[in-house]
Structure 1
Amino acid sequence: MITEVTNVALFKQKALAWAAKSDTLCYLDSNSFNDPYGKFDTIIAIGAKAELTANAGEAFARLSEFKNAYPGWITGFFSYDLKNEIEHLHSTNPHHLNFPDLYFFAPETLIRIKGNAIEIIGDNAANIFEQITRFELVPGTRTNPVHLQPRFSRAEYVETVEKIQQHIVRGDIYVTNFCQEFYAEDTEIDPLSIFQNLNGVSPTPFSTFFKWKGNYIMCASPERFLAKRGNKLISQPIKGTARRDADEAIDKTIIEELRNHPKELQENVMIVDLVRNDLTHSAVPGTVKTEELYGIQSFKQVHQMVSTVVCELRDDVSAVEAIKNTFPMGSMTGAPKISAMQLMERYERSKRGVYSGAVGYFSADGDFDFNVVIRTLLYNSAKKYLSFHVGSAITYHAGAEAEYNECLLKAKAILEVLGTNVKI
């Protein structure tokens, strides 16, 4: 069923609130960003007619089987810790959320929004459209200020960054992404209201609200991990962050400073080289290229330096294999990739889990699109455990205090919606 509505924003708001009553939901919102590789404005996958839960060891093989069994739309997530299946790695850091390493579901109903057009795929489509249009919105539950705790004090963070830089001096790595967790225990929130507020404060092209079995992902990600469009693979790593300013002239100056900042340029090009190398494992020889280097994208909270790397996918490489060949994404690991991941297991104090992983979809036409899970709240309602990570790239020239402040800048929107003071 395809129809049109005059007030798309209101329909989206009602559709999300209506869908949130389901036990299983994946809401993907582009927030109307201009994306040459975007295929829709919003997708809402509701209810699971089949689902797959897997941990590192056989997760990608099981996903391939699941995808073959359900060749239509499926949505889900990859946890960062699937690196332990791809490489000879292991994780011993604590993980308090207890999310699986991989979860996908085939939805009972799929709503796809493009412009004013609403397409509903599934049984009783006309009835569902009617339910949504008649749905009465009610105010969300107000969340009391959340008292967050850090895994690192500022002083401990600075000391750790300096230790990591000694590895760079020795030549163990060139760059790495060092992440820290902020968390709250025994905390009750209204996840839908939190996401709606987060999406309002920080609208991004890869925003996600994901719900299953009382677990939640509330994501304001600006970054695409990997997409497939026909026989083309697209990766758009982000490295380089700068604040926004209300003064337009100052804001333009900040963009120029970011565009010419040696440390940010160094970070970006090193990760672009890593992504190019990852794509060669799936590419027709000679087709890997950088479509754009050092592009600047501006969001409500920050400016970001974004590069675009593409290739032509070989016929003998499946969609799942293409993801496995590039996972985890270079922007969240470092270079050399394996050495950086090994070191971060040593210096970080909690498992990343879904953070640094990817949420997205495989579509019925064979394409897929997955984000990078950053700027994201994760919540286990049974354990009442709320968590988010932030990270930044550590290079030889990085200043530890500046990197800590960058982490807080990236967390600004999350801290605002939680009612938490920025100075943790």
Structure 2
Amino acid sequence: MPDFTATTPHIIPLVYQPDSAHWFALVRHLPHAVWLDSGRPQSTYGRFDIIAAAPQCLVETRGANTSIRYDDGRTDESALDPFYLLKKYLPADQLPEHSNSNLPFIGGALGYFAYDLGRRLETMPNLARNDIALPDMSVGIYPWAIIQDHQHKTACLVINTELGQRLGDAYNFLEIEQLCASAAKNPAFHEAINCIKSVQKSFKISEFESNLKVEEYQQALAKIHDYIRAGDCYQVNFAQRFSAEFSGDPLIAYLALRQALPSPFSGFMQLEAGSVLSLSPERFIQVRDKRVETKPIKGTIKRGATPEEDAANAEWLQNSLKNRAENVMIVDLLRNDLSKHCAQVRVPTLCELQTFANVHHLVSTVTGELTPNATALDLLRDAFPGGSITGAPKIRAMEIIEELEPTRRSLYCGSLGYISADGQMDTSIAIRTLVCDGDKIHCWGGGGIVADSETEQEYRESIAKVKVLMDTLEKEFGS
């Protein structure tokens, strides 16, 4: 495989849509359609939406094996490090001093890295039940994308012919161009999303049930407190899983969820045997022109029922020593993780209040400058999985999670995002995330457990974080 260099993409202007669901509805019939969604117009935090489908190459990891499948029918298998394999299809040289495009993505990798991909990076015990069949990593190499810029209210089709050529036989860009070109002229385009919504009755769901009884949750937290007192760890992110049976099109569910919980790092992925529906408020790592940023969330309280109660809850969170201590622990962990490939690591904001539809959060910002010869993939690999959803110290916290959570996490607490062909990257922490596997849909709620965590409060918080997701689906689509 020859070395890749950053390329200048072909950019075709498109009609801007305030809601990118219209553009996704246009291409979602194509295989492995993916929509990295800023939650606009309801959310105000995000800026770009990235939509693509029909990858020229699909890289999927299950356990120790990674399959590489090309759109022309070629296949390959490898036992190498999955992050190393991705570097074969993306630039392996140092990041350019400045991106050659104002766009966040000019073709490249789109997909997810599940929490359990961490087993390829560290030796972990195998105790939790592995009952979700989705890959540990599912990343497509897409030589084109639709980009919506909600700040400038522009849209375009990005085509990277050089990336397509380097991946093998000629890619059918003409079909994509014609599809996008015809959309603006077709009145039905603006009704595409309404057509999807009109078949809502085709999606049904049962009630969600936890994989832990209350007493089992209490016993697990007691064990974590024992480990903390023994000096094994300072913080462990512990979660319970909620599962239900469903039938129908998961995109219908996602459209309802993004209305109920608009979030800046959302995403929908259509897989061969399942789907990903993510409503994440948390950035993992962004790389832009060698500038690196991570924004860990630690500290949560539900929104109040009245403006007075809401303000009181926000004030309580900002003054909570326990929640601020949780946040600072993870900031220190991430400073260490970023320092592996970054210089000038700083913390410009610490424990800043951010408000979302269902909760208030404390969010910190850690920044750095990517060192020479380091790439975005190097940084992602050596900080994965994110410290905000493992605990501190990271490896020991992950071992305790494996011991106490009865089922593996799959995508939950992994990452969803992109690595562009010019070296830029943005990834989320996959919280507030549901996965569809067969006829089952799963979501997880958790939180950081420290020495002074109160079990009943942590239990309520773990439900509150995902209650709006479960309630929305059960009320709108309950069978």
Query: TM-score normalised to the size of structure 2?
Result: 0.81
- Per the TM alignment, residue 79 of structure 1 is displaced from its structure 2 partner at its CA by 1.1
> Given the alignment, which residue of 92, 108, 112 partners 2:147?
112
- Supply the AA of the counterpart residue of 1:183: S
Quick check: 1:412 aligned with 2:467? yes
- Per the TM alignment, residue 145 of structure 1 is displaced from its structure 2 partner at its CA by 4.1
Quick check: 1:231 aligned with 2:290? yes
> Given the alignment, which residue of 10, 13, 33 partners 1:3?
13
> In the alignment, what sits opposite 1:14?
22
Change (3 A) 1:412 1:249: same
Query: Aligned partners of 1:419, 1:180: CA distance in 2, in Å?
Result: 19
The SS at the match of 2:445 is strand
- Supply the AA of the counterpart residue of 1:50: C
Query: Aligned partners of 1:77, 1:4: CA distance in 2, in Å?
Result: 27
> In the alignment, what sits opposite 1:59?
82
Query: Aligned partners of 2:362, 2:423: CA distance in 1, in Å?
Result: 30
Change (3 A) 1:127 1:384: closer
Identical amino acids, percent of aligned pairs: 31
Change (3 A) 1:6 1:209: closer
> In the alignment, what sits opposite 2:57?
50
- Per the TM alignment, residue 59 of structure 1 is displaced from its structure 2 partner at its CA by 1.2
Change (3 A) 1:8 1:34: closer
> In the alignment, what sits opposite 1:182?
242
Query: Aligned partners of 1:419, 1:80: CA distance in 2, in Å?
Result: 27
> In the alignment, what sits opposite 1:192?
251
> Given the alignment, which residue of 215, 229, 238 partners 1:169?
229
The SS at the match of 2:342 is coil
| Match runs of 1:39-188 below 5 Å | 40-57=47-64, 58-68=81-91, 72-107=107-142, 109-115=144-150, 116-122=153-159, 123-124=173-174, 125=177, 127-131=179-183, 134-135=188-189, 136=191, 137-138=194-195, 139-142=198-201, 143-185=203-245, 187-188=246-247
- For the Cα contact (< 8 Å) 1:96–1:385, is it kept in 2? no
- Per the TM alignment, residue 42 of structure 1 is displaced from its structure 2 partner at its CA by 1.1
Query: Aligned partners of 1:68, 1:288: CA distance in 2, in Å?
Result: 24
Query: Aligned partners of 2:53, 2:374: CA distance in 1, in Å?
Result: 30
- Supply the AA of the counterpart residue of 1:419: E
Gaps of 5+ in 1: none
> Given the alignment, which residue of 308, 333, 336 partners 1:249?
308
Worse-matched range after superposition: 144-153 or 300-309: 144-153
Quick check: 1:365 aligned with 2:426? no
Worse-matched range after superposition: 387-396 or 105-114: 105-114
Worse-matched range after superposition: 126-135 or 104-113: 126-135
- Supply the AA of the counterpart residue of 1:60: F
- Per the TM alignment, residue 76 of structure 1 is displaced from its structure 2 partner at its CA by 1.0
Query: TM-score normalised to the size of structure 1?
Result: 0.92
- Per the TM alignment, residue 89 of structure 1 is displaced from its structure 2 partner at its CA by 1.7
- For the Cα contact (< 8 Å) 2:107–2:144, is it kept in 1? no
- RMSD of the alignment, in Å? 2.1
Query: Aligned partners of 1:191, 1:384: CA distance in 2, in Å?
Result: 11
- For the Cα contact (< 8 Å) 2:55–2:142, is it kept in 1? yes
Query: Aligned partners of 2:463, 2:154: CA distance in 1, in Å?
Result: 39
Change (3 A) 1:216 1:145: closer
Query: Aligned partners of 2:128, 2:286: CA distance in 1, in Å?
Result: 30
- Per the TM alignment, residue 420 of structure 1 is displaced from its structure 2 partner at its CA by 6.4
> How many residues are treated as equivalent by the alignment?
411
Listed one character per residue, the Cα deviations across residues 161-197 of structure 1 (whole Å, up to 9, x for unaligned) are 1121111111111111001111134x31420010000
Gaps of 5+ in 2: 1-10, 65-80, 93-104, 160-172
Change (3 A) 1:7 1:63: closer
